[in-house]
Amino acid sequence: MKNEFFFQIAISQAQIEFANQIVDYSLANHPITDIFKNDPNGKERKKEFRFTGSLGEIVFADAYGLPRPTRSFGAIDGQDFGQDFVLQIDGQLKSFDVKSMSRKNNNFRENYVLNLPAYQMRRTNVVTDYYFCISIHQVDNQYIASFLGFVSKIDIEQSTIGILYKGGTKRIKDDGGSFSFQRDTYEVDFKDITNPFVNDKIELMNLFERKKMLPPFLKR
């Protein structure tokens, strides 16, 4: 298992307000079609999807001392070809695409998954080296961001980690429920996500805490 820990930090009201600001501007001025438009409740949840993605990028930028995004998903001039941020890995600059999700809590299990639409990886102009996973949830009125870590695009493409499910495939969940994939999608187990970067600044952030993933549910 690659993932030894993840960490959580509090999301500030200022970060939330900035996310709402760029999302509202995007919805009003950049009517780009969302990839989720044909999903159940996709149109109704458009603002939610953009807010979660933008808030994740803002929190990531602030944590690692990088410039905040100035455009939300959907901006005509905001398409980044899979490069939200650039960070140095082993002495080399690498492109990171931040993938944010909304969950009810951060009691993650090792077999929870990061979903990556395959078409995003197959585009000829994509420049992504790594995908960084962030999960956002609320405790009362406080938003919390959990930094799970990152996965290599090459490792996914070479089937070192992750599984590719074709669109239309029926997926059985641990709780016995099921759903069908709307599009070709890679699933990467949380246990295969590389630990997130941590520094002294991050450890001093509000509600910082290192956490470990729980083992998978025992199937009966």
pLDDT in tens, 47-95: 888 899 999 999 999 999 999 998 876 544 445 556 789 998 889 999 9
* Domain tally, the chain: 1
Q: Within a domain: residue 218?
A: no
Q: Within a domain: residue 170?
A: yes
Which residue, 153, 126, 65, 60, is CA-closest to 98? Answer: 60
pLDDT tier at 122, thresholds 50, 70, 90: confident
| Sequence-distant (≥ 6) Cβ neighbours of residue 118 within 8 angstroms | 164, 183, 184, 185, 186
- Domain extent at residue 47: 6-211
pLDDT (0 to 100) of residue 90? 85
Q: What is the mean pLDDT of residues 198-204?
A: 97
Q: Within a domain: residue 91?
A: yes
Q: Within a domain: residue 216?
A: no
pLDDT (0 to 100) of residue 76? 45
Mean pLDDT (the chain) is 88
* Distance in angstroms (rounded) separating the CA atoms of residues 32 and 38: 14
pLDDT (0 to 100) of residue 175? 72
* Distance in angstroms (rounded) separating the CA atoms of residues 208 and 35: 33
pLDDT (0 to 100) of residue 49? 85
pLDDT (0 to 100) of residue 81? 59
Q: Within a domain: residue 178?
A: yes
> How do strand 92-102 and strand 130-139 relate by DSSP bridges?
parallel
Which residue, 61, 86, 69, is CA-closest to 25? Answer: 69
Report the first-to-last Cα separation within the chain, whole angstroms. Answer: 23
Q: Within a domain: residue 72?
A: yes
Q: Within a domain: residue 217?
A: no
Q: What is the mean pLDDT of residues 90-107?
A: 94
Q: Within a domain: residue 220?
A: no
Is the pTM above the cut of 0.85?
yes
Residue 55 near residue 98 (C-beta atoms within 8 A): no
